[in-house]
Every structure is written in structure tokens, then in C-alpha cells.
Structure 1
Amino acid sequence: MQRGEDLSDILVFNIVNEALQSPECKEKGYILDGMPNYSEKLLTIPTQLEFLARVYPEPAYWVLI
């Protein structure tokens, strides 16, 4: 990341998953922006959508633009 290179999709999803388990996210909520990522470098869009369908805590709202 310090070299300005993109992070792998898998790493990003693991970081997001870990952050969503924090007490702060569970108490105050969260916003996921830019997901799914349409680069499909490692994870296909259907795989990313499967991940998002299993996110806990479950989102109260989905906004697709």
C-alpha cells in the first residue's frame, strides 16, 4: 500500500470482515462504499455479492447507485 499499489480483493474483504466484528460497528453501524468492487482481479462479482449477503451485523439498508 505504501508503494501506491492496489490491495488484493481478498485482503480488503478480510479487513472489512474484521472491522464489522468490532463493538463500534455493532453499536453504531457502518457504511460500505465501493462494494462490490468491479475490478474482479481476484474475486468475481458473484463471489463478492455472496460475501456481502453474509455480512454481520446485517445491513439495515442497501443503496445501489
Structure 2
Amino acid sequence: MVSKTVTAQVNRTVPKPKNVVNYLAAGLTVVIVAASLIAGGSVATSSNSHFAQALTTVTAQR
């Protein structure tokens, strides 16, 4: 859930340079992976699928 909100805020507030978007996407990926390792199991799977959808949206908007 957190990743979806953060990504939505990033989409609205960050200007469009590709390197900024790439950097933020990479940073969010690290956060999600770390959270997934801590949370484990089903929570990790659901948050990763939400994040994958959000990342696809960010990539498409570039």
C-alpha cells in the first residue's frame, strides 16, 4: 500500500527527467525488496505485485 501512495506522489510531483524517474524507481525497488524480506510470505507477494503495476505505470509515462 505504501508503495502505491509513494509512486502516485512521485508521478505528480517529480519533473520528468528520465534519470530522476529511474533513480526513484530503483530506490523504491530496494525499499520494497527489503520490506518483502522482513515481512515474508504472502504480504511480500501482494506488495510486489502492486509495486510491479505502479512501476509499469511510471515506465509507460516516461
- The TM-score, its normalising length taken from structure 2, stands at 0.40
* Structure with more contact order per residue of length (Cα contacts < 8 Å, sep ≥ 6): 2
Give me the TM-score of the superposition, normalised by structure 1: 0.39
Structure of larger gyration radius: 1
